[in-house]
Amino acid sequence: KQGKWILQNRNTYLHRFIVGGEDFDFYRGRLGIVHRAKIFDKSVNFFAHDEIFIDLKKGDFARNRVYLGADIKLFNWLNPQFFYIYQSHKNHASPNNHLFVVAAIIPLGNHGFFGAKK
Q: What is the pLDDT of residue 1?
A: 61
Q: Which amino acid is at 69?
A: G
More confident residue, 6 or 90: 6
The amino acid sitting at 114 is: F
Confidence of residue 102 (pLDDT cuts 50, 70, 90): very high
Per-residue pLDDT, 54 = 93
User: Over 80: is that where the pLDDT of 17 sits?
Assistant: yes
Percent of the chain with pLDDT over 70: 91
Q: H/E/C letters for each residue in 77-107?
A: CEEEEEEEEEEEECCCCCCCCEEEEEEEECC
Q: What separation in angstroms does the CA of 15 have from each of 21, 32, 55, 58? A: 13, 24, 10, 14
> Quick check: helix, strand or coil at residue 4?
coil
Q: Residue 109 has what pLDDT?
A: 80
- Mean of the per-residue pLDDT values for the chain? 88
